[in-house]
């Protein structure tokens, strides 16, 4: 029998800063870049009631942790539940179970920020963001820890939502944060562009991107999701979170392949390879770069390992008994 820590969303909330999430996730991508195992998401769907069961996993030998993220969305309750399990990578014993909902925007935002830090110009100060929900908020909080932003423009289709987003961040950031009337206004002359939507069609025109712009797209994790147009993919140095995911469920890249504007070798590198220095990312000032962040076990397990250590230090969580198979299956 072993004791496993159960951590609620309340336990996790506020346990780490956005910058600390970024540091943990950057280290996870570094380990992936040097060979740590990780796979794209698997997804099972049901039509009646409509819903999706999704999961992905990663192992970090250097940190001694491994884990898996599983969540449901839709179905009869028309809601979502996130369960994150963390194991010891050496013994295999379960370390923790998380109610994983509240950490989601933070670990996903951290992945986007690692992409910005690896691929955007070091002196980038202007950010255009398309989307105003929880994920967009997580992206901005994390990105503000890796670049000194002075000008942030946000667009989403509902004026009330983008105005509320701008008002909230105007008080939190040392930057001019304002809502704009179109995605073109958000993208124009931006050093960094972030898309955080549920769009099925491109949310801006790739011809509007200035040379040298970096784009992080984090809402296109299915063949029917497509935030970026083929022009953007064709013009850009393309870096996904996982190479395998680019042809698995990266909707914009798959559309560009289908249109014949790029081939599979258009993938420059995985983000982890860039972070680890194994492959180059940006190689010239004028390059447009894209980080395609569809969600992986890399950022999730890296964040969980960090939060587990912090929870133990703070005395948070509830211990649950887990029986190993050698006991449970034999009754001994």
Residue 112 lies in a domain: no
Is 210 within the bounds of a domain? yes
| Strands 94-99 and 79-88, bridge-based pairing | antiparallel
The answer on 318 and 266 residing in a single domain is no
Token pair recorded at residue 89: 């990578």
Asked if residue 113 belongs to a domain, the reply is no
pLDDT tens, N- to C-terminus, the chain (332 residues) = 889 999 999 999 999 999 999 999 999 999 999 999 998 888 899 999 999 999 999 999 999 999 999 999 999 989 999 999 999 999 999 999 999 888 999 999 999 999 999 999 999 999 999 999 999 999 999 999 999 999 999 999 999 999 999 999 998 899 999 999 999 999 999 999 999 998 889 999 999 999 999 999 997 776 777 899 999 999 999 999 999 999 988 999 999 999 999 999 999 999 999 999 999 999 999 999 999 998 899 999 999 999 999 999 999 999 999 989 888 777 55
Instruction: Convert the pLDDT of each residue in 218-267 to its tens digit.
Output: 977 767 778 999 999 999 999 999 999 999 889 999 999 999 999 999 99
Domain identity same for 164 and 205 = yes
**Residues 241, 306: one domain?**
no
142, 263: one domain: yes
Any domain includes 301: yes
Is residue 160 located within the same domain as residue 97?
A: no
324 and 187 within one domain: no
Residue the block writes with tokens 């943990």: 24
Residue 30 φ/ψ, nearest 5 degrees: -60, -45
Q: Identify whether residues 90 and 206 lie together within a single domain.
A: no
Residue 310: its pLDDT value, please? 96
Please list, residue by residue across 264-286, b when 16 or more beta carbons sit within 10 angstroms of its beta carbon and e when fewer do: eebbbbbbbbbbbeeeebbeeee
> 109 lies in a domain?
no
Q: Determine the Cα–Cα distance for residues 32 and 122; give it in Å rounded to an integer.
A: 23
Q: Which residues contact 225 (CB under 8 A, 6 or more apart)?
A: 198, 199, 200, 219, 251
Output the domain CATH number for residue 324: 3.30.1780.10
Q: Distance between CA 213 and CA 121 in Å, rounded? A: 8
Look at the chain and report how many structural domains it folds into.
Answer: 2
Q: How far apart are CA 55 and CA 95, in angstroms?
A: 19
Residues 6 or more apart in contact with residue 293 via CB below 8 angstroms:
108, 111, 112, 115, 216, 217, 218, 240, 241, 271
Any idea what the CATH number is for the domain that residue 128 is in? 3.40.50.720
DSSP-based three-state secondary structure for 195: strand
What residues contact residue 234 under an 8 Å CB cut-off, 6+ apart? 206, 256, 261, 262
Give the three-class secondary structure for 199.
Answer: coil
Kindly give, in sequence order, each residue whose CB lies less than 8 Å from that of residue 76, ignoring residues fewer than 6 positions away.
Answer: 49, 51
Domain shared by 243 and 313, yes or no: no
- The reply to whether 20 falls in a domain is yes
Domain presence at residue 166: yes
Looking at the structure, tell me whether residues 136 and 222 fall in a common domain.
yes
Question: What is the domain extent for residue 81?
Answer: 2-104+297-328
DSSP characters over 54-101: EEEEEEETTTTEEEEEEEEEETTTTEEEEEEEEEETTT--EEEEEE-T
Residues 44 and 135 in one domain: no
Q: Which residues of 135-166 are buried (b: 16+ CB within 10 A; e: fewer)?
A: bbbbbbbbbbbbbebeebbbbbeeeebbeebb
CB 154 within 8 A of CB 182: no
What is the predicted pLDDT for the residue at 44? Answer: 93
Is-contact 212 286, C-beta < 8 A? yes
Residues pairing with 324 in the sheet: none
Per-residue pLDDT, 330:
73
Q: Are 216 and 128 in contact (CB under 8 A)?
A: no
């Amino acid at each position: 029998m072993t004791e496993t820590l159960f951590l609620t969303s309340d336990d996790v909330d506020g346990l780490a800063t956005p910058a600390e999430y970024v540091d943990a996730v950057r280290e996870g991508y570094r380990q992936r870049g040097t060979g740590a195992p990780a796979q794209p998401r698997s997804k099972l769907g049901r039509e009646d009631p409509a819903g999706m069961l999704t999961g992905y996993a990663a192992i970090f030998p250097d940190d001694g942790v491994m884990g898996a993220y599983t969540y449901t969305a839709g179905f009869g309750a028309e809601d979502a539940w996130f369960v994150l399990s963390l194991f010891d990578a050496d013994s295999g014993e379960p370390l923790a179970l998380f109610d994983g909902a509240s950490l989601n925007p933070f670990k996903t935002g951290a992945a986007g920020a690692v992409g910005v830090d690896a691929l955007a110009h070091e002196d980038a100060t202007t950010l255009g963001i398309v989307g105003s929900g929880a994920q967009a908020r997580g992206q901005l909080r994390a990105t503000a820890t890796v670049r000194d932003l002075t000008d942030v423009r946000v667009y989403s289709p509902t004026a009330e939502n983008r105005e509320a987003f701008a008002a909230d961040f105007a008080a939190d950031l040392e930057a001019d944060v304002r809502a704009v009337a179109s995605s073109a206004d958000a993208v124009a002359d931006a050093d960094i562009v972030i898309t955080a939507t549920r769009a099925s069609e491109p949310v801006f025109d790739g011809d509007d991107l200035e040379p040298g712009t970096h784009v992080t797209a984090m809402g296109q994790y299915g063949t029917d999701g497509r935030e970026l147009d083929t022009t953007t993919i064709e013009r850009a140095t393309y870096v996904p979170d996982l190479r395998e995911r680019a042809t698995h469920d990266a909707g914009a890249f798959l559309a560009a392949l289908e249109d014949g504007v790029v081939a599979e070798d258009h993938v420059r590198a995985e983000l982890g390879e860039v972070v680890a220095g194994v492959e180059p990312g940006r190689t010239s000032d004028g390059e447009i770069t894209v980080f395609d962040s569809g969600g992986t076990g890399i950022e999730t397990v890296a964040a969980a390992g960090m939060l587990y250590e912090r929870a133990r230090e703070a005395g948070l969580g509830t211990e649950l008994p887990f029986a190993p198979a050698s006991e449970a299956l034999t009754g001994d």
